[in-house]
Chain A
Amino acid sequence: MDSLSFILNFFRDGIFDGRKAYLKLAGKRRTVLVPWLVAAAASLALGVFLFTEYRNSIKEYYAYDIRQEFTLPDGTQAVLFPGSSISLKPHWNPRTVNMSGTVRFTVAKDPAHPFTVTAKNAFAEVLGTVFTLCDNPPEITVEEGRVRFAAQADAEGIVLEKGESAIIKDGAPEKKPLFVFEDTPLREVLESLSGHFGVRLRCAEEGKRLSAEFKDERLEDIILLVEEALDVKIEVVK
């Protein structure tokens, strides 16, 4: 049988078409691949979702009508005054804490990881120290160590040391005066200053009264100011 009659014997339109076969097989491969890819993508998305959920899971602590003390995941002690709450993400960063109300933190020391507290109007960052933060009105008191205190996390803020307090005024942190005296007998004034600076101060006219505020002035300057204001002579007894 010759070629042409052989071919004519079997000829049909539209068969033996390489293009069609390629598309059919490529299409088959695609339909096999697509559900597989969709399944893989779906389980990946679910995994990412669950992981994100896990990382973002929030632990909250509340103090309702009485003061409550908690130990946070990183070892920090938090004393929550009535009506206060704190929250943190233990699996994300246990040393980033959100709070409202008034909370006293005794921060576990971990120099590599700053401990930060964010409140509605205040932000504090420390390495290891004891301080109390109140968010309304925003006020901080540092009992130990150093604290960076700001209105929010990205603001520069001020550094507070042991014994200092600060408030947020007009969106900026401001140190509270260490000493506020209002018509206070000079005897009490000298007692406060003596207690703070670890000295003994004496004056012949301790009955005079003083109204003044002192922030971070040195003891010598404070003495000068008081002497000038009250026209007295103050003696430092070591």
Chain B
Amino acid sequence: MSQKYTIEDLFSVYYRPLCLLSLHYTYDTAASEDIVQECFVAMMSKTPENPKTYLYTAVRNRSLSWRQRNKPGEPLPEDIPAPEDEESTSIRDARLWTAIESLPPQRRRCLVLAKRDGLSYKEIAEELGLSENTVRNNIAKALETLRELPEVKKSFILLFF
């Protein structure tokens, strides 16, 4: 196992899923990225038997203690995956993230401004210098692309229809 992945492989396969796992605890992208990097650095000095298991455990523990430090007393979010589901959930999340990233830039910007920042089509149109129609069209096409992903099909329908 220890020879199965190089450090570089582990980064390219598990870095993003681990960030997204941590994000379920922190709700803070910068904090999650720091946590995951600390875990990788710790792993590199230890070379554990099973690097993947080590990383998931380390990220979970560090994310929990980050939460206790930064959001004391707040209850844990409900959608934190159970340890046995951590890998599959985080990899699915990572695929979604990558799918959004891979959208054509204008479609992606319109989608993110609408869904993350809660801007109206009109506000997005002003922000990006586009017509409202173009914004609407962009978001529709972006959602269409994401809808095709097997990972999202079910939840997508629930969310948008």
Chain B interface bracket (under 10, 10 to 19, 20 to 34, 35 or more)? 35 or more
**Is A13 at the interface (CB under 8 A from chain B)?**
yes
A5 vs B29: C-alpha distance when bound (angstroms): 15
The answer on a CB contact under 8 Å between B96 and A7 is yes
B140 to A: closest C-beta gap in Å: 15
Which of chain A's residues have a CB closer than 8 A to the CB of B66? none
- Docked Cα-Cα span, A117 to B12, in Å, equals 69
CA–CA, A2 and B54, complex, Å:
27
A1-34, CB < 8 A from B: 1-13, 15-19, 21-22, 24-25
Report yes or no: A21 in contact with B116, Cβ–Cβ below 8 A: no
Known: A3-B152, A8-B116, A10-B116. A22 touches B8 (CB 8 A): yes
**B16 & A2 in contact (Cβ 8 Å cutoff):** no
Contact, CB under 8 Å: A5 / B8: no
Asked if B13 is at the interface of the complex by the 8 Å CB criterion, the answer is: yes
Known contacts: A16-B33, A18-B13. The answer to whether A8 contacts B40 by CB under 8 A is: no
* CA distance in complex: A16, B36 (Å): 9
Binds A, one of B19-27, B57-65, B68-76, B123-131: B19-27
Q: How far is the CA of A6 from the CA of B112 in the complex (A)?
A: 12
In whole Å, how far is A26's beta carbon from the nearest beta carbon of chain B?
A: 8
- Residue pair B16, A18 in contact (C-beta under 8 Å): yes
User: A19 and B41: CB pair below 8 A?
Assistant: no
Q: A4-B146, A4-B156, A8-B100 are in contact. Are A16 and B15 (CB under 8 A)?
A: yes
Q: Using CB atoms, name the residue of chain A closest to B105.
A: A13
A19 contacts B12, CB within 8 Å? yes
- B2 adjacent to chain A (CB < 8 Å): no
| Binary flags per residue of B39-66, CB closer than 8 Å to A gives 1, else 0 | 0110000000000000000000000000
Task: Name the A residues within 8 Å of B11 (CB-CB).
Answer: 18-19, 21-22
Q: Would you give 6 A-B contacts (Cβ < 8 Å), ordered by A?
A: A3-B96, A4-B156, A5-B159, A10-B27, A13-B101, A22-B15
The 6 A-B pairs of least Cβ separation, nearest first, read A18-B15, A22-B11, A2-B155, A8-B115, A16-B19, A18-B11
User: A residues within 8 Å of B by Cβ?
Assistant: 1-13, 15-19, 21-22, 24-25
